[in-house]
């Protein structure tokens, strides 16, 4: 832990610019190299993350409860929710695809929201527990986000492929829009979160010692 501390730029009164990676004073509000805004108001980062996170939780509900596709086959219309689609795929012997869709569309977004909420709480309660692990958790969360759009891709591809006139049609349902919004807002929440904030309580306790 003490080695981590020694490496902390914050403790040495420095911060890196997220745009051009120029290292300048931790007090500066603008990068003196490229002029982009630095995280001057750090409280803002947590508020923005919470706001995007709350929006994504609200969108997560219709994304899972409303139908994501409407299928019309020989005049008979059926609806599928995401979970309904997973169950249908499983029953028709496409277990691997069912598992991929479940992980990408249901499990990962939920895990991502929980991780971001946990990280925000950690900063707000000034926790100094397992900071390296939490920083790594954040990096994984940020990286995984872009792969969550799989379900929207599946719907888009199905709609494009299966348009057999009056025999069979597939239309996207309202959940597809909610789902896309949910993925976008969790990504924005992850971007808004500044992982350096995790280290501030530790730095503060060091400074006051």
User: Under the criterion CB under 5 A, does residue 139 sit at the interface with Zn ion?
Assistant: no
Q: Which is nearer to Zn ion, 33 or 44 (CB)?
A: 33
DSSP summary character for residue 135? H
Q: Please select the residue that binds Zn ion; options are 28, 33, 42, 43, rule is CB under 5 A.
A: 33
Q: How far is the C-alpha of 130 from the C-alpha of 91, rounded, in Å? A: 42
CA neighbor of 116 nearest in space, from 193, 2, 47, 39 = 193
- CB closer to Zn ion out of 30 and 77: 30
Among the listed ranges 9-17, 112-120, 121-129, 189-197, the one in contact with Zn ion (CB under 5 A) is: 9-17
The answer to whether residue 1 forms part of the interface with Zn ion (CB under 5 A) is no
Least Å from the CB of residue 9 to Zn ion:
14
Residues 6+ apart with CB under 8 A from 183: 109, 145, 148, 149, 152
Residue 204 touching Zn ion (CB under 5 A) = no
**Could you tell me which residues come within 8 angstroms of residue 50 by beta carbon, excluding any fewer than 6 positions away?**
120
At 79, which helix (H) or strand (E)? Answer: strand 76-80
Q: How far apart are CA 202 and CA 206, in angstroms?
A: 6
Among 33-41, 61-69, 148-156, 199-207, which window interacts with Zn ion (CB under 5 A)?
Answer: 33-41
**Binding of residue 61 to Zn ion (CB under 5 A):** no
Question: Which range touches Zn ion (CB under 5 A), out of 32-40, 54-62, 78-86, 133-141?
Answer: 32-40
For residue 203, the minimal CB distance to Zn ion (Å) is: 22
Is residue 20 close enough to count as binding Zn ion by CB under 5 A?
yes
Burial class (CB in 10 A: 0-12, 13-18, 19+), 123: buried
Read off the tokens for 44.
Answer: 């803002």
* Binding-site member from 10, 15, 17, 102 for Zn ion (CB under 5 A): 17
**How far is it, in rounded angstroms, from Cα 22 to Cα 15?**
8
- Decide if residue 34 touches Zn ion (CB under 5 A): yes
Residues that bind Zn ion (CB under 5 A): 17, 19-20, 22, 31, 33-34
């Amino acid at each position: 832990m003490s080695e981590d501390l020694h490496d902390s730029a914050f403790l040495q009164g420095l911060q890196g610019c997220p745009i051009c990676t120029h290292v300048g004073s931790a007090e500066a509000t603008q990068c003196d190299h490229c002029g982009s805004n630095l995280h001057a108001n750090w409280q803002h980062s947590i508020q923005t993350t919470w706001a995007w996170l709350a929006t994504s939780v609200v969108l997560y509900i219709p994304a899972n409860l409303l139908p994501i596709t409407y299928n019309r086959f020989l005049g008979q219309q059926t609806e599928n929710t995401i979970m309904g689609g997973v169950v249908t795929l499983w029953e028709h012997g496409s277990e691997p695809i069912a598992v991929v869709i479940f992980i990408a569309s249901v499990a990962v977004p939920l895990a991502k929201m929980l991780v971001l909420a946990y990280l925000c709480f950690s900063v707000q309660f000034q926790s100094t527990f397992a900071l390296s692990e939490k920083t790594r958790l954040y990096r994984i969360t940020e990286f995984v986000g872009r792969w969550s759009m799989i379900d929207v891709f599946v719907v888009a591809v199905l709609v494009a492929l299966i348009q057999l006139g009056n025999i069979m049609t597939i239309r996207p349902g309202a959940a597809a829009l909610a789902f896309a919004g949910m993925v976008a807002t969790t990504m924005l929440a992850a971007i808004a979160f500044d992982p350096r904030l995790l280290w501030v309580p530790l730095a503060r306790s060091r400074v006051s010692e």
